[in-house]
Chain A
Amino acid sequence: MKRWLGITLGIMTATGGFLDAGTIATAAQAGAQFSLGLVWVILVATVALIMLIEMSGRLAAVAHKPYAALVRERLGFRFYLLPLVSEIVAESLLLAAELGGVAIALALFTGINWHILFPVAVVLVWLLCWRGPFALIENGPAILGLVTLSFVVGIARLGGPSPALLTTLWRPTIGHGQRDTYLYLVAATLGATISPYLLYFYSSGAREEHWSVRSLPLNRVTAIVGMGFGALGAIALVVLGAMVLRVHAIGANTLGEVGLAMAQPLGRLGVLLFATVLFATCLGAALEVSLAISYNIAQGFGWEWGEDKPPARVARFKLVFTLLLLVALVIGLLGMDPLQLALLASTVIALFLPISLAPLLVLMNDRTYLADHTNGRASNIFLLGILLLAFVVALVSLPLLFLGGGN
């Protein structure tokens, strides 16, 4: 039973990794601007993410080493540095965006300007990373993240999507001059969802929980349930955006206005539930990004790491996220809009996605690490498909940012 509680690792990974400031914004924008015409992108991203998460968990469970350590060991230090630089850059921006999301959520509860609350969010995340045991980091946001299900209740209270709205699932309503924005949102949704830091966090989490070959069924269920949960929340937001925000010509360009979609069906309770979801997802994402980079660097450089070890024993591991949080604090204090930062980070992540994911193809076919648990032909074809998709997204994301996004 205790072993199956490990499923919270998947829900935690989804709460912070799948649903975060960027996904909440892009999902609501997608619904407000194109009704249900972008749901297919979330479904594609979900399938890709389930595959990637399952593979990184399997790798960590069977090889008894996390992803970053294996990349360095198998492909060498120089290759390991290549994705690392891009990830530090993109994830510094992303961390600032997520901390901004936490500050905005606190502001929605208190009415205090979020710029003032930004340092509070940084201190909260630092304290949790510094002192919090892995179980607390894993279970706290995961349990709070369950409030995401209130989006589904909101949709039900509105009477569900109309048949006319459902037809936009396969016939998107793309208005005059909106094609670039549509394509940008496709790339941004994929970039915001398929983030390499999820692999580093999830595979390290599997090691923190001492997963072994016996954990493989749990790994599979965790990947499917966790990412399925994240997808449900994102799709529910798209539907709410289409049912409420689109009707009022609201574009969902700020996080506060996304919550208006919950005010209509559930009133004051609805917006408070939305603020709770925003808090849980952005806090989860900030914790995941901070720890994922620390795990990545500590494992790559061969330092001792572990969230449950005393800080003095894993000083360099703890120092990495402290420095990263300081960089994010400086970025945040410059007063940049968290959503713009999240979208910019998604674009940078998308640019380097093929470099970050390519090592997985090599590792998942290496019998030295995986023995009888290497990828089958179907898994390799799927993985190649994801890499191809990542490559296309990398090619188009920057031009589309200029043409259609970044409002």
Chain B
Amino acid sequence: MGRGLSRRCRTLICTVLVAVAFLCGGCEIVPANFQRDATTAGEAFAAAALTLQDEHTGTLTSAYAAAAFTGYQDELSSFARRFPRDPAAPSSGEMRALLAVSAPALRAVAHPCLATTCGWQAQVRSLLRASHALLQAGGS
């Protein structure tokens, strides 16, 4: 009985570990979708613009803004990886234009001007420009 139960427990533990590993791997299994990726990135840029603006107008604490930007960086790191290789992407000309407008916005997300000395307004403008372009491309 004791032996049977321990075998059963081992099988249970193995099943659980295999399933967890499979599901963790599955976090990236959602297929590429140009419209969805463009919309998600556009929304993230819009959020980053508002965060930066709110931080400099005193509506947000610096700590909150810094932590929020970590989230945008995490979210957009996957976008930067997937977007150029998206098989459902539009013509190469349109894609180049989107990547060109996204580049300064991605830089702003990676290195946001949370201090008063740097040009945060320019970053807000580039973030909003990229957001509008991507949301339009995503059909929103």
Q: A residues within 8 Å of B by Cβ? A: 32, 81, 84-85, 88-89, 92-93, 104, 107-115, 175-177, 181, 248-251, 253-257, 259-260, 263-264, 267-268, 271-272, 275, 327, 331, 334-337, 340-341, 344, 348, 401-402, 405-407
Cα distance A36–B32 in the bound complex, in angstroms? 28
The one of B15, B35, B59, B135 that contacts A267, using a Cβ cutoff of 8 Å = B59
Shortest CB-to-CB span from A361 to chain B, Å, is 25
- Interface membership of B131, Cβ < 8 A: yes
A191 to chain B, nearest CB (A): 14
Known: A89-B20, A251-B40, A251-B43. A110 touches B63 (CB 8 A): yes
> Is B121 interfacial (CB-CB < 8 Å)?
no
How many residues of chain B get a CB closer than 8 Å to chain A's CBs? 46
Given A327-B20, A401-B30, A111 contacting B39 (CB threshold 8 A): no
Task: Write out the residue numbers on chain A whose beta carbons fall within 8 Å of the beta carbon of B63.
Answer: 108-111
Nearest CB of chain A from residue B65's CB, rounded to whole Å: 8
Distance in angstroms from B55 CB to nearest chain A CB is 10
B50 near A260 (CB under 8 angstroms)?
Answer: yes
Interface pair A249/B42, CB less than 8 Å apart: yes
Chain B 2-36, CB-CB to A under 8 Å as 1, else 0, gives 00000010001001100110011011011100011
Of residues 51 through 66 on chain B, the ones whose CB sits less than 8 Å from some CB of chain A are 51, 54, 58-64, 66
Q: Are B67 and A260 in contact (CB under 8 A)?
A: no
Beyond A249-B43, A340-B27, A402-B31, whether A259 also contacts B20 by CB under 8 A is no
Q: 17 new A-B pairs (CB below 8 Å) besides A93-B20, A407-B40?
A: A85-B15, A85-B16, A92-B16, A113-B70, A114-B70, A249-B43, A253-B40, A254-B47, A254-B72, A254-B75, A257-B72, A263-B54, A268-B58, A337-B74, A348-B23, A402-B29, A407-B30
| Distance to closest chain B CB from A245 (angstroms) | 8
CB-CB nearest in chain B for A181: B36
Assess the B61–A248 pair: CB atoms within 8 A: no
Whether A341 contacts B59 by the Cβ 8 Å rule is no
Decide: A108 and B140 in contact? CB cutoff 8 A. Answer: no
Known: A85-B12, A249-B46. A255 touches B20 (CB 8 A): no
Does A107 lie within 8 Å of B67, measured CB to CB? yes
Report how far A348 CA is from B43 CA in the complex, Å: 27
Q: Which residues of A have CB within 8 Å of B71?
A: 104, 114, 254-257
Contact between B43 and A250, CB atoms less than 8 A apart: yes
Inter-chain CA distance A89–B62, complex, in Å, is: 37
Interface residues of chain B, those whose CB is within 8 Å of chain A, are: 8, 12, 15-16, 19-20, 23-24, 26-27, 29-31, 35-37, 39-40, 42-44, 46-47, 50-51, 54, 58-64, 66-72, 74-75, 131, 135, 139-140
Contacts of B24 in A (CB 8 A): 93, 331, 334, 336
Q: With both chains docked as a complex, state the minimum distance between the C-beta of A345 and any C-beta of chain B, in angstroms.
A: 8
Q: CA A213 – CA B95 in complex, angstroms? A: 67
A181 to B47, CA, bound (A): 20
B39 and chain A: residue at smallest CB distance: A251
A268 with B61: CB separation less than 8 A: yes
Q: How far is the CB of A251 from chain B (nearest CB, A)?
A: 3
Q: How far is the CA of A113 from the CA of B63 in the complex (A)?
A: 10
**Which residues of chain A are near B58, meaning CB under 8 Å?**
267-268
- 10 residue pairs from A and B, CB less than 8 Å apart: A85-B12, A177-B139, A249-B46, A250-B50, A251-B43, A251-B44, A251-B47, A255-B71, A256-B69, A257-B71
Chain A residue nearest in CB terms to B8: A81
In the complex, the 6 A-B pairs of residues with the closest C-beta atoms, listed nearest first: A256-B68, A111-B63, A251-B43, A254-B71, A107-B67, A257-B47
Beta-carbon nearest neighbor of B40 in chain A:
A407
Shortest Cβ distance from A117 into chain B, in angstroms? 9
Look across to chain B and name the residue whose beta carbon is closest to the beta carbon of A107.
Answer: B67
Are the CB atoms of B44 and A108 closer together than 8 Å? Answer: no
Residue in A81, A248, A249 with the greatest tally of chain B CB atoms within 10 Å? A249
CA distance A401 to B75 in the complex (A): 18
Query: How far is it, in angstroms, between the C-alpha of A331 and the C-alpha of B27 when the chains are bound?
Result: 11
Report the bound CA distance from A406 to B70 in whole Å: 19
Closest to A257 in B: B47
Please state if B16 and A89 are interface contacts (CB–CB under 8 Å): yes
Please determine whether A114 and B61 come into contact, CB atoms closer than 8 angstroms.
Answer: no
CA distance A107 to B75 in the complex (A): 16
**B109 CB to closest chain A CB, in angstroms?**
12
Contact of B61 among A175, A264, A271, A331 (CB under 8 A): A271
